[in-house]
A and B are shown apart, each in its own frame.
Chain A
Amino acid sequence: MDWLLALAQAVLFTLLAPLFSGWLKWIKCLLQNRRPPPPWQPYRDLRKLFGKRPVVADTASWLFPVTPYVVFCAAALSGAIVPFFAVDLPTAAIADMIVLVGFFALGRFFLALAGMDVGTAFGGMGSSREMTIASLAEPAMLMAIFTLALTASTTNISVAIDYLLDTGLALRPSFLFALGGLLLVAVAETGRIPIDNPATHLELTMIHEAMILEYSGRHLALIEWAGQIRLMLYGVLIANIFLPWGLAREFTPEALGIGAAAIAAKLGALAVALALAETSVAKMRLFRVQEFLGFAYLLSLLGMLSHIILEV
Chain B
Amino acid sequence: MPVPAYSVYEQAILFIAALVVFTSFLMLGQKRLSGMIHLFAAQGALLAATTALAAYTLPYPHLYISALIIMALKVILIPAMLHRLIVRLDMHRDAEPLYLYGYVMMAAAALVMFSYYVVEPIEHLSTLATRNAMAVSLAVVLLGMLLMITRRQVVTHVIGFMAIENGLFFAAVASTQGMPMVVELGIAFDVLVAAVIFGVFFFHIRSSIDSLDVDRLNRLSEVEP
Q: Chain A: residues with CB nearer than 8 A to chain B?
A: 151, 167-174, 176-177, 294-295, 298, 301-302, 305-306, 308-312
- Apart from the given pairs A170-B11, A171-B15, A302-B21, 12 other A-B contacts in the complex at a CB distance below 8 Å: A167-B4, A170-B3, A170-B6, A171-B14, A172-B3, A177-B18, A294-B105, A298-B105, A302-B18, A310-B136, A311-B2, A311-B132
User: Hey, what's the 0/1 contact readout for B17-45 against A, CB within 8 Å counting as 1?
Assistant: 11101100100010000000000000000
Contact B132 A171 (CB under 8 A): no
- Residue numbers in A under 8 Å from B22 (CB-CB): 177, 302
How many A-B contacts are there with CB distance less than 8 Å? 66
Q: In the complex where A168-B4, A298-B105 touch, is A305 in contact with B112 (Cβ < 8 A)?
A: yes
- Residue numbers in A under 8 Å from B8 (CB-CB): 171
Q: Chain B: residues with CB nearer than 8 A to chain A?
A: 1-4, 6, 8, 11-12, 14-15, 17-19, 21-22, 25, 29, 102, 105, 109, 112-113, 116, 132-133, 135-136
Query: Which A-chain residue is minimally distant from B120 (CB atoms)?
Result: A309
- Residue numbers in B under 8 Å from A168 (CB-CB): 4
What are 30 A-B pairs with beta-carbon distances under 8 A? A151-B3, A167-B2, A167-B3, A168-B4, A171-B11, A171-B14, A171-B15, A172-B3, A174-B18, A177-B18, A294-B105, A295-B29, A301-B109, A302-B18, A302-B22, A305-B109, A305-B112, A305-B113, A305-B116, A306-B17, A308-B116, A309-B112, A309-B135, A310-B17, A310-B18, A310-B133, A310-B136, A311-B2, A311-B3, A311-B14
- Residue numbers in A under 8 Å from B25 (CB-CB): 298, 302
Q: In the complex, what's the smallest C-beta–C-beta distance from B97 to chain A, in angstroms?
A: 14
Contact A294 B102 (CB under 8 A): yes
Q: In the complex where A177-B18, A298-B25, A298-B105 touch, is A309 in contact with B4 (Cβ < 8 A)?
A: no
- Residue numbers in B under 8 Å from A294 (CB-CB): 102, 105
Sorted nearest first, the 4 A-B pairs with minimum C-beta distance are: A173-B18, A306-B18, A171-B11, A170-B4
Contact A309 B132 (CB under 8 A): yes
Query: Which A-chain residue is minimally distant from B17 (CB atoms)?
Result: A310
